[in-house]
Amino acid sequence: MQKLPFLLALCLVSFFSFSQEIKESTFESEIQEVTVFLSGAQVFETSNGQISAGESFILIKGLSPYVDEKSIQVKGMGDFTIQAVNKRLDYLSEQKVGEKVKTLQDSILAIQRNQSIEMARLDVLKEKTSLLNANKNIGGTQNGSSLTELKQAMDFYDEEFMKIKAEELKIQANIQKENDEMNKLSNQIAAMQESANESTSEIRIRVKAERAGTAKLEINYLVANAGWYPKYDVRVKNVSSPLSLTYKAEVYQNTGVDWKNVKLRFSNGNPNQGGQIPDLEKWELNFARLTTFNPRTQNFGSVSGRITSAADGEAIPGATVMVRGTTIGTVTDIDGNYSLTLPSGASQLNASFIGYQPRDIAINSSRINISLDESTNMLEEVVVVGYGAQQKKSITGSNIKIRGMSSAEVSEAPALQTSVVENQTTVEIEVSEPYSIKSNGEKTLVDLKNYQVDASYRYSVVPKLDNDAFLIAEIADWSQYSLLEGESNLYFEDGFVGRSILNGSSLQDTLEISMGRDRSIVIQREKNDEFSKKRAIGSNITESREYKITVKNNKSQAVTINVEDQIPVSVNSDISVEALGLSGGKLDPQTGIVTWEITLQPGAQQELKLQYEVKYPKREKVILD
């Protein structure tokens, strides 16, 4: 029995001796390419160095702490074999702080050192005041002081106390000024800081080589806290010119590692989204009184607000805010503020930031302030049980040719050269020139493409809801541009006219882009009380309504205007609706929508009438106004 502990101890000694013999070599790595997804990014790095004969570890240090361990792929080139790959957090290697951040931190330290001197001076002045107060008695208790001595003493104390108080006030004012300056510097550091987490991660690659030699590695992995949102600038010089569409990427990255002079690709894919096809569940139909309906939510055109920490109420710059279920989103500014244009049907916002729990918020107002709770899930060491040796596949596809004006005809500063590549399930836009994006959470706009697109224009108005006319640009065969749903800035006749949503997920053959309001077209809708009457006939009530719609063109050219209004649609057999006069409008009996398409010459106006009649039982009531 005594041999068993001895053998166990011998095995442990042999194991630790063997472990200590495995050498470690740290290779420098450099990011070459980054594919930015709608959420997350795939980073491609290269590294090379010398390895020893036998078994050894290659360490790739200074990586983002948010590397997805399941996504790591390593390909080795050289006379060696990759045995295993694992990733772990490195708390001993503090993240590199940018030169600007280091300068700001040094400024704060200098202010703090100066404040220490100022506080020491305040203590000295306090002691000096105490000393003067302790020696106020003049001439002792036996002999009184003369008036001259008293006056001299009062002048002395007055002068000394004034000097002390003046110096104290000056120092206190300077300390307050320095505190304000330190707050500004701290806020700037918070906006520029790579990450609140002081750790980095490292990839440990265990290799075996017959002989010493050179090893070259290609590494790629997914990293969180990065992504992009599609944005657009839509410019129309006049309704007889092509539409200029600038496709942009609003990029953010807070991975903890700067992307310096890397090749960027923007993909419409999202690797964080599940790839499993959904299953239909049984649809159980019941009586209406046993069925729960979701109430209809109010639609808002835009939403803005501020993202703060629930712990201290401080603003969170660099937080991401997106409309749930869409590709529409943005990043908060240095004060934590955000602003988004909302698509129709938007119901929820999702807000997230590093170190905080993501939060979904119902859109029930045009102003939504959001507070985030700190996350209790700390980054832990993770080991990859397998490794990838798959070679990064080359991206193939054909460039899409865009019809319309060529860029040579526009005398503007040259934009970044990009190309659109269609893969099997995703579309990527490659930026040909190297690009740099710092890890500070700030949003960076990258121009991807500029299309000169043939478009037709018309005006559309719904006077029942809004008396303004909206200019609509229609683009046929728009699917060739590979557009995503996103916010668009609208410019008409060289002026900014507002924001809208470019619905790249539309199923229509023609893409409609709202170019905003044009108040040169005047619309008025009014009820004709003389025609609008209520009368009883037998057991029924008959109500009639008439609305007069006047449209006037104050522009210098002829315009085509699509006018929409509606009559009610009965869903009860006891209620009948009849259209009496529509001024030539087309009625859709299923929706009750009446459409007119009119062309107005400059300065001309036209009047349209909408007349209908409703019959229903006397015992019931209906709401028509």
Give the model confidence (pLDDT) of 219-267 as tens digits: 999 998 899 999 999 998 887 888 888 988 999 898 888 899 999 999 8
For residue 193 the two structure tokens come to 């800081």
Q: Which residues of 415-440 are buried (b: 16+ CB within 10 A; e: fewer)?
A: eeebbbbeeeebbbbbbeeebebbbb
| pLDDT class of 377 with cuts at 50, 70, 90 | low
State the Cα–Cα distance between residues 548 and 139, nearest whole angstrom: 103
pLDDT band, residue 123 (cuts 50/70/90):
confident
Alpha-carbon gap, residue 245 to 295, rounded angstroms: 38
Q: Is 509 within the bounds of a domain?
A: no
3-state secondary structure of 530: coil
The whole-number pLDDT of residue 562 equals 93
pLDDT of residue 370: 93
Quick check: helix, strand or coil at residue 233? strand
Residue 74: per-residue pLDDT: 92
**What tokens appear for 8 in the block?**
């166990």
Residue 418's pLDDT is 57
**Cα 544 from Cα 535, distance rounded (Å):** 9
Q: Higher confidence at residue 381 or residue 368?
A: 368
pLDDT of residue 503: 79
Domain boundary among 192, 212, 227: 192
Q: In what helix (H) or strand (E) does residue 40 lie, and over which residues does it extend?
A: none
Q: Is residue 120 part of a domain?
A: yes
The model's confidence at residue 365, banded by pLDDT at 50, 70 and 90, is: confident
Q: Would you state the pLDDT for residue 188?
A: 73
Show the tokens assigned to 419: 């190309």
Mean of the per-residue pLDDT values of the chain: 80
Alpha-carbon distances, residue 23 vs 46, 74, 568, 619 (angstroms): 21, 20, 82, 94
Which stretches does DSSP call E strand in 438-504? 444-453, 456-461, 469-476, 486-492, 495-502
Q: Kindly indicate the confidence band of residue 386, based on its pLDDT and cuts at 50, 70 and 90.
A: very low
For the cut 50, the answer to whether the pLDDT of residue 615 exceeds it is yes
CA 79 to chain CA centroid, Å, is: 46
Task: Kindly state whether residue 174 falls inside one of the protein's structural domains.
Answer: yes
In the block, tokens 């040169």 appear at 520
The parent domain of residue 109 ranges over 99-138+146-192
Question: Containing H/E element for 501?
Answer: strand 495-502
Residue 92 lies in a domain: no
Query: 612: which 2 tokens?
Result: 């209908």
Q: What is the mean pLDDT of residues 94-99?
A: 54
Number of domains making up the chain: 2
Element (H, E) at 483: none
- Predicted confidence band at 390 (pLDDT cuts at 50, 70, 90)? very low
Task: Provide the pairing of β-strand 469-476 with 456-461.
Answer: antiparallel
247: closest CA among 453, 64, 439?
A: 453
Placement of tokens 């918070």 in the chain: 190
Asked, for residue 333, whether it belongs to a domain, the answer is: no
* Residue 28 belongs to a domain: no
What's the pLDDT tens digit per position in 19-37?
456 888 899 999 999 999 9
Chain centroid to Cα 594, Å, comes to 39
Mean pLDDT, residues 325-349 taken together:
86
Average pLDDT over residues 195-215: 80
Condensed to tens digits (0 to 9), the pLDDT of residues 283-322 reads 766 656 666 655 545 667 788 999 999 888 888 888 889 8
CATH assignment of the domain containing 556: 2.60.40
Residue 423's pLDDT is: 59
Q: Tell me the one-letter amino acid at 380.
A: E
Alpha-carbon span 609 to 614, nearest angstrom: 17
Question: What confidence score (pLDDT) does residue 595 get?
Answer: 95
Whether 289 maps to a domain, the answer reads no
| pLDDT tens digits for range 144-184 | 557 777 777 777 777 888 888 888 888 988 998 888 888 88
**Strand residues in 391-443 grouped as ranges (E):** 418-422, 427-431, 435-437
| pLDDT > 70 in the chain, percent | 78
pLDDT at 5 over 70: no
Mean pLDDT over residues 586-612, rounded?
Answer: 93
Provide the token pair at 241.
């010119």
Contact (Cβ atoms closer than 8 angstroms) between residue 266 and residue 419: no
Residue 179 located in a structural domain: yes
φ, ψ (nearest 5 deg) of residue 175: -65, -40
